[in-house]
Structure 1
Amino acid sequence: MTDVLYLAHDLSDAAVRRRVLMLKAGGARVTVAGFQRAGNMLADDPEVRIIVLGRTADARMGQRVAAVLSASVTLKRKLADVTRPDVILARNLEMLALAGRASNLFGGETPIVYECLDIHRLLLDNGSKGRMLRTAEGYFGRNASLILTSSPAFIENYFEKRSRLDLPTLLLENKVLNLGGRLRTGQPRPAPPSAGEPWRIGWFGALRCRKSLQILTDFARQMEGKIEIVLRGRPAYSEFEDFDRLVREAPHVHFAGPYRNPEDLAEIYRNVHFTWAIDFFEEGLNSDWLLPNRLYEGSLYGAVPIALCSTETGRFLQRKSIGLTLKTAAPEELAAIFDEMNASEYSEFSQRMAMIDPSSWVSGPEESRALVQRLSGLYGSTQPSARPLQSPLQSGGTP
């Protein structure tokens, strides 16, 4: 059995839990060492040992740097009785900074994989801060064997052009995990609203984009009950002036709290007609390049995705001839579209979605085994070339 030490930046991140579930399904034994923020998504899993390295906070880079420095001092004690892993998976730059130290504690030969599912805006800064962080990334990743990332645009726009790392890349999209065939992926799909009922747009997941919230609340107010906005997930409160008040005071906008992924996906997405797959959090940079979780989740259950045509998400939808792509996502543009939206047009959207092979949205046991096999094969291998790999994990090929 492959032993994986997963260094996690945030134990409350649903994507961390999803990766752990995937590793376990692939046959790995997983130990997670990470920082705590809003809770621990893995607390109810008796098969996974959790080692808390400290506490960190959203949008506080200085505090996180201090926490990493503190954790590096205590890491030997924290990992003292951990079995020597076959591979160390480091999520984000802050955990990559600890990965080399962890590898040395186990003799210095344990391969390191850098999991990077977002490119922080400071890494793209053209000034001294950006150069310093890219230099740090290159330094801490100098002995890594592989980069694991979730969008081809990250590879094309950052790792091939700006990063100081010269490593192979493995593309592992943010697909929905279907382990053991337990996901309810068939019918029914969302039906058009009955006469007098609103179109419902769901914005689910990590809610961190002030501009999206402003657009959606303005749009809902302008449509006077013809549109309902449903929010679910984990708000990044540090990014909003007062998230709870803004939502409470916005007409036809509702926050329905957190959910479990993948257990609750069928219920929440089948209760909306459209998925808001737009993000302005790092507009022109990471937000333009990512392929978000909600794209795969909503599409799997028939909620029509809404994206900007100028982004990687929009191009993804255009290649598949599905979804609703916008030029600006301004409330006026949305109002013009939804003023004309009818059951016939929506049914056409829905039918095109239904024609897409579910493997575009779902990752199963085969992909999990392939991932663990790829990771376990790194031990003892020579330093690989910088040519990006063609991943066997891409069901149906790269989008």
Structure 2
Amino acid sequence: MLHILYLVHDLTDPAVRRRISMLHAGGALVTLAGFTRGQVKVARIDNIEPVNLGHTSDGKFAQRLLAVGRALCKLSSTLRNVAKPDVIIARNLEMLALANRASTLGDWNAPIVYECLDIHRMLLRQDIIGRCLRFAERLLARRARLLITSSPAFVDNYFTPFNVLDMPVMLLENKVFRPTASPDQMSQPIATTTPWKIGWFGALRCRRSLELLADFTRRSKGQVEVILRGRPAYSEFDNFDRFVAEEPYLHFYGPYKNPEELAAIYSEVHFSWTIDFFEAGQNSDWLLPNRLYEGCLYGAVPIGLAGTQTSRFLQERNIGFSLHEPTVDALVSLFGQLDEKSFLQAQSNVTAQPREGWECTEKDCRSFVDHLRQLAGSTDKRAIRKIAA
């Protein structure tokens, strides 16, 4: 059985559990090691007891670097009880440094896979800091044999023009994976009556989205409400909880279990908010977020922003709505044209799409692990380029 050492920067990230579930479903044995984040205590993840590499803080880049440095110094002892892996996957740049060190332990010499699902704004700076970080990324990625990323725009706008990495690329979209769900499990569509409800679920980190939705719902005078669920990045807001509590048409219901509760929470909303201004013009314009796939799988109509990769994705499939500008007026115009008939047509356009566009199957997982197995058994980068194309 293929043994994978998975190094992650945030053990509390729900996407980590999804990736591990996919690897398990594909027939791999996984050892998980990573950093804890915030005050969340990490228990077993998909029946794995993770190896704790230390603690990091959200939004504190220098502290994260120090934590990685400490983990590097004691990595051999931290991983002393870990069996030799066939492949090491490093999720994010700082974990790539640890993967390089781990690959030299004992007789491991395991090939490294670089999983990069976001391009941090510091990597895009044109000053000495940005150049140094890109140089470090090139240096650390020299031993990597494969890049996993979730949006083609990351390749088109960063990896290719910046000439950062020379390795095969595997596009692994942020599709929903439900290992225990039956293939025909779906949510019941929400009754098409006002107030219209917009769901903004997942990592809540965009202050501009929060303020825009608050202004719009107040202007709509209760005709539109916003349901928020997930994990707020409190470092990005002045006071998230107080702000939401004072808004009459915003409702925050806390975290949820992913994927177990996705059907239930998306059945409560008409629309899925897929817009993100957190790193506007850069990462936010290039990503294809988890909530895009989750919402469409369960019949929520996505709302995107023109000029972004998400908007292009929607246009290619003739689904959802794209705002021409991120303003209250644009939202007022969109909802002013909506009635039950037009909503049902928009929802029908979403539900008519093939479900494999939103959902990862066990067959996909087996194919993913097979790629990694071939990587472990090959010393030729060109062979991997063929299977990852």
Q: Which TM-score applies when normalising by structure 2? A: 0.96
| Amino acid across the alignment from 1:84 | K
- Give the Cα–Cα distance (whole angstroms) in 2 for the partners of residues 383 and 140 of structure 1: 19
Residue 74 of structure 2 aligns to a residue whose secondary structure is helix
Correspondent of 1:268 among 253, 261, 265 = 265
TM-aligned CA deviation for residue 164 of structure 1? 2.2
Q: Counterparts of 2:160 and 2:237 in 1: how far apart (Å)?
A: 33
2:307 match: 310
User: 1:45, CA displacement in angstroms?
Assistant: 4.1
- C-alpha contact (below 8 Å) 2:200/2:227 kept by paired residues: yes
Paired residues of 1:168 and 1:387 also in contact (CA < 8 A): yes
Deviations 1:83-115 (A, max 9, x none): 000100000001001100000014352000000
**1:249 matched to which residue of 2?**
246
Contact between 2:187 and 2:263, CA under 8 Å: does it hold in 1? no
Are the equivalent residues in 1 in contact too, given 2:119–2:283 (CA < 8 A)?
A: yes
Q: 1:114 to 1:371 in 2, by over 3 A?
A: same
2:52 — aligned with what?
52
Tell me, what secondary structure is at the counterpart of 2:30?
A: strand
After superposition, the Cα gap between the structure-2 partners of 1:338 and 1:46, relative to the gap in structure 1 and judged at 3 Å, is closer
Q: Alpha-carbon deviation of 1:189?
A: 2.2
Alignment partner, residue 366 of structure 1: 363
1:122 counterpart residue number: 122
Amino acid aligned to 2:68 = V
Per the TM alignment, residue 309 of structure 1 is displaced from its structure 2 partner at its CA by: 1.8
Deviation at 1:298, TM superposition (A): 0.2
Instruction: Choose 230-239 or 338-347, whichever is displaced more.
Output: 338-347
1:294 corresponds in structure 2 to 291
Change (3 A) 1:389 1:150: farther
Offset at residue 184 of structure 1 (A):
5.7
What is the aligned counterpart of 2:326 among 321, 324, 329?
A: 329
Q: What code does the residue aligned with 1:162 have?
A: F
Which of 354, 373, 376 pairs up with 2:373? Answer: 376
In the aligned structure 2, how far is the partner of 1:247 from the partner of 1:389? 49
Report the Cα offset of residue 41 of structure 1: 8.4
Gaps spanning 5+ residues in structure 1: where? 393-399
Report the secondary structure of 1:85's partner residue.
coil
Q: Distance in 1 between matches of 2:156 and 2:39?
A: 34
Gaps in structure 2 of 5+ consecutive residues: none
Residue 219 of structure 2 corresponds to residue 222 of structure 1: yes
2-side partners of 1:261 and 1:46: how far apart? 12
Q: Whole-Å Cα distance in 2 between the matches of residues 182 and 224 of structure 1? A: 40
In the alignment, the residues of structure 2 paired with residue 385 and residue 373 of structure 1 have an alpha-carbon distance, to the nearest angstrom, of 16
Helix, strand or coil for the counterpart of 1:379?
helix
Return 46-55 or 183-192, whichever deviates more: 183-192
CA RMSD in angstroms comes to 1.8
1:340 is the counterpart of 2:330: no
Deviations 1:374-394 (A, max 9, x none): 1121124224149965758xx
Give the structure 1 partner of residue 132 of structure 2: 132
- Amino acid paired to 1:122: M
Q: How does 1:91-240 map to 2 (within 5 A)?
A: 91-107=91-107, 109-182=109-182, 185-186=185-186, 188-193=188-193, 197-240=194-237
Q: Helix, strand or coil for the counterpart of 2:4?
A: strand
C-alpha contact (below 8 Å) 2:17/2:46 kept by paired residues: no
Partner of 1:77: 77
State the secondary structure of the residue aligned to 1:53. Answer: strand
Instruction: Provide the TM-score with structure 1 as the length reference.
Output: 0.94
Q: Quickly say closer, same or farther: Cα 1:126–1:85, change in 2 above 3 A.
A: same
Q: Distance in 2 between matches of 1:378 and 1:3?
A: 12
Please tell me the residue identity of whatever aligns with 1:58. Answer: D
Kindly provide the CA deviation profile for residues 24-65 of structure 1, in whole angstroms up to 9, marking residues without a partner as x. Answer: 111111111100013668624473131000000111000000
Q: Does 1:283 align with 2:243?
A: no
Cα distance change of structure 1 residues 123 and 387 upon mapping to structure 2, 3 Å threshold? farther
Contact 1:28–1:372 (CA under 8 A) maintained in structure 2: yes
The ranges of structure 1 where at least 4 consecutive aligned residues each deviate by more than 3 angstroms after the TM superposition are 38-42, 44-47, 180-187, 385-392
C-alpha contact (below 8 Å) 2:38/2:56 kept by paired residues: no
Distance 1:98 1:344 in 2: 54
Amino acid at match of 1:220: T
Residue 293 of structure 2 aligns to which amino acid in structure 1? Y
Name the amino acid aligned to 1:304. V
Q: Secondary structure at the match of 1:232?
A: strand
Structure 1: distance between partners of 2:385 and 2:278? 28
Task: Decide whether the 8 Å contact of 1:30 with 1:49 is kept in 2.
Answer: no
Map of 1:23 onto structure 2: 23
Structure 2 distance, partners of 1:260, 1:305, is: 21
- Residue 269 of structure 2 aligns to a residue whose secondary structure is coil
Matched pairs, number: 389
1:395 paired residue number: none
Do 1:134 and 1:163's aligned partners in 2 also have CA atoms closer than 8 Å? no
Cα deviations by residue, 1:61-83 (Å, 9 ceiling, x for unpaired): 00000000000011101100100
Q: Given that residues 96 and 140 in structure 2 are in contact (C-alpha distance below 8 angstroms), is that contact kept between their aligned partners in structure 1?
A: yes
Q: Deviations over 1:291-322 (max 9, x none)?
A: 00000000000000000121000000000000
Matched to 1:323, the amino acid is G
Per mean C-alpha deviation after superposition, the further-off stretch among 347-356 and 143-152 is 347-356
**1:68 corresponding residue in structure 2:** 68
Counterpart CA distance in 1 for 2:89 and 2:388 is 17
